[in-house]
Amino acid sequence: MGMLKDFKEFALRGNVVDLAVAVIIGGAFGAIVTSLVEDLITPVILNPALKAAGAENIEKLAWNGILYGKFLAAVLKFIVIAFVLFLLIRLANKFKKQEEAAPAEPSSTDKLLAEIRDELKKRP
C-alpha cells in the first residue's frame, strides 16, 4: 500500500501534471507545425522545385535515389518549432525581468515588525 500511496503523491505533484499538459500541448503543436510546413510553406516555397523534379510532394524529392525531401520537411519543422520556442522563452524572460525590476512591497508582517522596531527605538 505504501508504494501505491508514494506513486499517487508523485503523480499528482504540480511538476508532473504540468509536464503531462506540456507533452499533450506539444503533440498538438507538432501536428499544427506539420500541417503548416506540409500544407502552406512547402507548396509556396518548394512548388517550383517539386515541379522541376516531377514530384507531387516534398517527401518524394530525390537525388540519385536519396530521398532528401523528408529531410527538408524535418528541417523546416524543426526551424518553425525552434523559432516559436525561442519567442516563448524570450517572452517569459521579459516577464521575469519585469517582476525582478519591480521592488517587492513588504508584507503585512514585515510592516508590523518595522512598526514594533520603530516603537522600541523611541523608548529610552
> Is 73:58 a contact under the CB 8 Å cutoff?
yes
Please answer whether residues 76 and 42 qualify as being in contact, where contact means their C-beta atoms are separated by less than 8 angstroms.
yes
Model confidence at 107, pLDDT cuts 50, 70, 90, reads confident
Domain count, the chain: 1
pLDDT (tens digit, 9 = 90+) per residue, 36-78? Answer: 877 787 777 766 666 666 666 666 666 777 777 778 878 888 8
Structure confidence at residue 50 (pLDDT): 65
The pLDDT of residue 32 is above 70: yes
Q: Residue 32 is part of a domain; what is its CATH number?
A: 1.10.1200
pTM, 2 dp: 0.52
Buried b (16+ CB within 10 A) or exposed e, 55-65: beebbebeeee
Structural domain of 51: 2-122
